[in-house]
Structure 1
Amino acid sequence: MCGILGIVLANQDVNVAPELFEGAMFLQHRGQDAAGIVTCGSKGRLYQCKGNGMARDVFTQKRMSNLIGNIGICHLRYPTAGSSAGSEAQPFYVNSPYGISLSHNGNLVNSIELRNHLDEVVHRHINTDSDSELLLNIFASELDKFNKSRVNNGDLFTALSETMGRIRGAYACVAMLAGYGLIGFRDPNGIRPLLIGERVNKDNSKDFMIASESVVLKAHGFKKFRDLNPGEAVIIKKTGEPEFKQVVQPKLFAPDIFEYVYFARPDSVLDGVSVYRSRIEMGIKLAAKIQKIMKENEIDVVIPVPDTARTSAFQCAVSLGVPYREGFVKNRYIGRTFIMPNQQERRSSVRRKLNAMDSEFENKNVLLVDDSIVRGTTSKEIVAMAREAGAKKVFFASCAPPIRFNHIYGIDLADTKALVGFNRSEEEISKVIGADKVIYQDLQDLIECCKTPEIKNFEVGVFTGNYITGIEDNYLQELEKIRAQNQRLQEIQNGENLNNGFSVDACIDQSDMIDVKAEVDISIYNTGDH
């Protein structure tokens, strides 16, 4: 799961980099591992800044001043398939043909097949483990077939059609062809979100933005916007209106339901569904189930696990007629815990991330509400904190059903066997996390919270094991192999930090100590116009 952004400004004398940086701040929740911006100047020259770390760490004022041009794309990486090495920070770039830079949100499930094709048939060198680099090179190889000095929109749409016919999985992408313009496209199932908007300037010229969520469009004054349809692509030349085309036929429209449960900002609207309203509905449905299985007056107070579950927890309390209280205070300078690759780091991080207020727990039967339960490590720590604060009983409710399978489309939850819901009943899960009872949202109720007349199906493979695109043989084993490699690399890096005199906890706890290996490439390539 990543955040992607692309902007074309009508005024060619204005640099787009500052607006890309501001947009990155609105999408930072979608990726905190690495950040990158590539811009394009008037002569088709590309300028790049990318590296590991948060956007605020990578995009310093000095680096930003070197990003020239009125067209650009941005990427915020959340580590999934591939490693967390600085070389895998996006956008990715290929020189041939024409000079293409690409940002990708999602995961491809036939990456092994694609890697073999590029190696044995197309003979294109792949430098990282990232499936995003595979996607870019597949697109480049399709464009190469035209053997032209310059391409047009028709050629680009044809190349996209061939590319999307070859790749499988979840992908929302924004690409930039040097000296030409922006390209946006979305997978035939619409698993990952992508929107396009326009902003009218005082002189009636128009700026255009492609982004992962509506919140960044609204914040930047792009009042007219819409979702790209599944299988649809758009090309925005450096001058002129966008051109849309359905490059492949849409399949079963099934957005990833985890966007609404957890990942998207509550003030976003994705595919016509308000994230905030869907989370209110989750609270209503969850309360209805709790009323069926628990005794009246058994719950004294409802307390959310900050922050994503807050909306659902409040509505759950209202529906139950039980007081709602903020029992945990969050340290906002600590990142999301399940992104951390080491279990011991994750446990200690929870204590640094949240602090329980005794007054809200003491001598009470507490219902804790969270968006989901993944490994169970965080939930176990939170239950223990509630008991230490004086709670008599601790019930734990999840806005999502039990997560029993790997997420293969861009959220690095855990290997299947590491999931607390894998091969365990709800009673067994409650014992693992130390709660008196665990209550899960029913899957059909969750779907009802999000569906519309246009969207009746969702990608729910994490709950059922049935993935909307299917998976290649050995794909899950390959993911687990990559995760194991990443964990070993992280342990080595942590060891180096210890040798340098910093404790592991200190390096995680203090954002100023994040190792930011940003690079600014000035005049990467002068590719000219196409």
Structure 2
Amino acid sequence: MNFYNSMRDGIRFDKLREECGVFGIFNNDRHDIARLTYYGLYALQHRGQESCGIAVNDNGTILYHKDMGLVPEVFNDVVVNHLKGQIAIGHVRYSTTGASRRENAQPMVINYRNGQMALAHNGNLVNALELRTDLENKGAIFQSSNDSEVILNLLSRYRITSESIEETLTKMIKDLKGSYSLLLLTPKRLVGMRDPLGIRPLCIGILDNSYVLASETCALDAIGAEYVRDVNPGEIVLIGEQGIESIQTEVPEESKLCIFEFIYFARPDSYIDGISVHQARMEAGRRLAEEHPVDADLVIGAPDSGLTAAMGFSEKSGIPYGQGLLKNRYVGRTFIQPDQAQREIGVTIKFNAMKSAIDGKRIVMIDDSIVRGTTTRRIVQMLKNAGAKEVHMRVSSPPMRFPCYFGVDIPSTKQLVASANSIEQIREMIGADSLGYLSLEGLLKTPVSARCGFCSACFNGKYPMSVPMEGNKFSCGGCG
């Protein structure tokens, strides 16, 4: 779904969409791995809500089921009980630049000369179009519009001429440019790969004697697995009956983990590269209070993404924290979307102001970001209609001025309100009494004790690699 389609959503049209989530398990015990994968995907549902799928390896034969919808909509007991095997991978997906269709749902499964393979991909290749064109010129036929199929084609071609899967993967990783956390299901092994910059997250866990790979540690917690470590940037992890093997490929001097994992995407109870998401968001709120102090009566957060930063702001400022907005948690993907004339209804169905809490008070409203400003404007007006004397908007990230090419649905520059407007102009547009953004310097200090570098190109335009010209994005596999 591209940005113009997401505008028609009416409920999420002013929020970013995540790139996707992956989960995999190599079963060395008698676990029901399809059911464990279901639970893992359920825990990662926040990372993708358009489609999902599970593929299992049953003695070299891959069984799979995938469709459009949320995890509990796509899977039931009958389907899960049918997916028996020794290795499993799963995927939850948002599309960004690609079509939201069933054939783009993952995991993707292919047959090739040496058997079957399945792939689950989180990320986006910036050279996907170039690779696809080269493969088509060599006779490849594509069934979907995403770059995960490009990766599978590369794998199958290299596998034919390589002596081992290790040699295949080492060759392939040199061809891929962009962001990716990949899970690969082969006849005998579960493989995990993370791009050399570490833009997309991937971690390793253990459950009894079985190994688990997942986008976030919250998925490990969901199945009772113990966190072991994160997959390193540029690392290839191969898991088989003999245990786990690691191949470390060449990487740049500094990694570039997506900073938006801590701002918005990851679940607050997750750890990404050893950093607590909850603590990072608390620290963002504290630093926001230092950079943009205000005299007010109550601090509230935009549910759910602004709540933790609001707590940090309250703690540092001494202004009481409270609940001022109620979120309808039953508004989901299947909600009948309002048309253009009813967008206001879309916002008020998802959020409602708690008049008794905010009437007559000066409110500090914390949110993680402002994309277009349309939803923010309506929420500010909602608070004032409920009796707020003043509404001071504070944002726990810098102004977004540049698009993302690495798997996050940040729209074109034209659709980013901060790309063509000053902070004062944005304040006037949203109707707030004051507006303050966290500085980039302050944001990059929020992941306390960080042992990695961060990609912040959506704020400063400094991309960690060459990217296509704007408007020339190719469909992303993790999201396309």
Is the pair's TM-score, using the shorter chain for normalization, greater than 0.5? yes
Do 1:303 and 1:326's aligned partners in 2 also have CA atoms closer than 8 Å? yes
The answer to whether the 8 Å contact 1:31/1:76 transfers is: yes
Paired residue for 2:135, among 118, 132, 140?
Answer: 118
Alignment deviations for residues 497-526 of structure 1 (CA, whole Å, 9 cap, x no partner): xxxxxxxxxxxxxxxxxxxxxxxxxxxxxx
Aligned to 1:271: 273
Matched, 1:175 2:192: no
Is the counterpart of residue 428 in structure 1 residue 425 in structure 2?
A: yes
Aligned residues: 456
Residue 314 of structure 2 corresponds to residue 317 of structure 1 = yes
Of residues 456, 463, 466, the one that matches 2:459 is: 463
CA pair 65-346 structure 1, distance change in 2 beyond 3 A: farther
Distance 1:65 1:127 in 2: 28
- Give the alignment of 1:11-50 within 5 angstroms: 11=29, 14-42=31-59, 44-50=60-66
Q: Are 2:83 and 1:67 aligned?
A: yes
In the alignment, which residue of structure 2 is the partner of 1:10? 28
1:328-348: CA deviation from partner (whole Å, max 9, x where unpaired): 1111122499xx998767654
Partner of 1:491: none
Which of these two proteins has the greater Rg computed from alpha carbons? 1
1:99 corresponds to which letter in structure 2?
A: Q
List per-residue Cα deviations over 1:324-383 (Å, max 9, x = no partner). Answer: 11011111122499xx99876765432111111111221222110001111212111111
Equivalent position of 2:173 in the other structure: 164
Amino acid at match of 1:477: G
Report 1:379-418 matches (<5 A). Answer: 379-418=376-415
- Counterpart residue identity of residue 86, structure 2: N
Q: Secondary structure at the match of 1:244?
A: strand
Change (3 A) 1:452 1:470: farther
Distance 1:381 1:135 in 2: 43
Deviation string for 1:166-205 (max 9, x for gaps)? 111110011101x3110000000000000111223xxxxx
In structure 2, relative to structure 1, the CA distance for the partners of 1:419 and 1:31 (3 Å cut) is same
Find out whether 1:230 has 2:233 as its counterpart. yes
- 1:95 matched to 2:86? The reply is no
Residue from 341, 346, 360 that aligns with 1:349: 346
Q: Is this contact kept in 2: 1:230–1:250, CA < 8 A?
A: no
C-alpha separation between the residues in 1 aligned to 2:179 and 2:161? Answer: 25
Pair 1:377–1:344, CA change in 2 (3 A): farther
Measured in 1, the distance between the counterparts of 2:124 and 2:316 equals: 38
**Contact 2:111/2:117, CA 8 A, preserved across alignment:** yes
Q: What is the CA–CA distance in structure 2 between the aligned matches of 1:453 and 1:390, rounded to whole Å? A: 42
Q: Is the 8 A contact 2:217 2:227 kept in 1?
A: no
Residue ranges of structure 2 left out of the alignment (5+ in a row):
1-18
Tell me, yes or no, if the aligned pair for 1:189 and 1:251 is still in contact at 8 Å. no
Which residue matches 1:498? Answer: none
Cα distance 1:19–1:280, how it changes in 2: closer, same or farther (>3 A)?
Answer: same
- Give the secondary structure class of the aligned counterpart of 1:249: coil
For 2:343 and 2:198, locate their aligned partners in 1 and report how far apart those are by CA, in whole Å.
32
Q: How far 1:443 moved relative to its partner?
A: 0.3
Aligned CA distance change for structure 1 residues 304 and 169 (closer, same or farther; 3 Å): same
Q: Rate the CA distance shift 1:290–1:49 in 2: closer, same or farther, 3 A.
A: same
Secondary structure at 1:450 match in 2: coil
Question: Which structure 2 residues correspond to residues 179-190 of structure 1 after superposition, within 5 A?
Answer: 179-190=187-198
Which residue does the alignment assign to 1:203?
none
In structure 2, C-alpha distance between the alignment counterparts of 1:342 and 1:2, rounded to whole Å: 27
Would the aligned equivalents of 2:179 and 2:198 in 1 still touch at CA under 8 Å?
yes
Task: Tell me the distance in 2 between the aligned counterparts of 1:385 and 1:322.
Answer: 21
Identity of aligned residues (%): 37
Q: Would the aligned equivalents of 1:230 and 1:251 in 2 still touch at CA under 8 Å? A: no
RMSD of equivalent CA atoms: 2.1
Distance verdict in 2 for CA 1:274–1:75, change over 3 Å: same
Tell me, what secondary structure is at the counterpart of 2:408? coil
Give the deviation of 1:277 after TM superposition. Answer: 0.7
CA distance in 1, matches of 2:323, 2:448: 30
Query: Aligned in 2, Cα 1:156/1:247: closer, same or farther, shift over 3 Å?
Result: farther
Hey, what does 2:288 align to over in structure 1?
286
CA distance in 2, matches of 1:469, 1:336: 34
TM-score (ref. length: structure 1): 0.82
Question: What is the identity, as a one-letter code, of the residue corresponding to 2:465?
Answer: T
3-state DSSP of counterpart to 1:278 = helix
Q: String of CA shifts for 1:454-512, please: whole Å, max 9, x gaps.
A: 22x2100110112112203x3x3123x979xx9xxxxxxxxxxxxxxxxxxxxxxxxxx
List aligned pairs for 1:233-272, cutoff 5 A.
Answer: 233-237=236-240, 239-272=241-274
Shift in Å, 1:413: 2.8
- Partner amino acid, structure 2, of 1:398: V
- Look up the equivalent residue of 2:211 and give its one-letter code: F
CA drift at 1:145: 2.0
Q: What is aligned with 1:448? A: 445
Contact 1:300 1:323 in 2 (8 A): yes
Distance 1:282 1:439 in 2: 13
Aligned-partner residue type, residue 75 of structure 2: F
Flag the structure with higher helix content: 1
Q: What's the counterpart of residue 497 of structure 1?
A: none
Tell me the CA shift for residue 436 of structure 1: 1.7
TM-superposition CA deviations, 1:68-119 (whole Å, max 9, x none): 1121100000112311011100001111142110000011111211111111
Q: Distance in 2 between matches of 1:289 and 1:344?
A: 38
Corresponding residue for 1:56? 72
Q: Provide the secondary structure at the position in 1 that maps to 2:472.
A: helix
Maintained 8 Å contact 1:299/1:367? yes
Map 1:472-491 → 2, pairs under 5 A? 472=468, 474=469, 476-479=470-473
Q: Establish whether residue 419 from structure 1 lines up as the match of residue 389 from structure 2.
A: no
Residues in 2 aligned to 1:14 and 1:460: alpha-carbon distance in whole angstroms: 40
- TM-superposed CA distance for 1:252, in Å, is 2.5
Q: 1:482 to 1:234 in 2, by over 3 A?
A: closer
Distance 1:482 1:198, change over 3 A: closer
Would the alpha carbon gap of residues 51 and 453 (structure 1) be closer, same or farther in structure 2, given more than 3 Å must change?
closer
Q: Is the 8 A contact 1:160 1:247 kept in 2?
A: no
> Is residue 47–residue 265 contact of structure 2 (8 Å, CA) maintained in 1?
yes
Structure 2 Cα separation of the partners of residues 427 and 278 of structure 1: 27
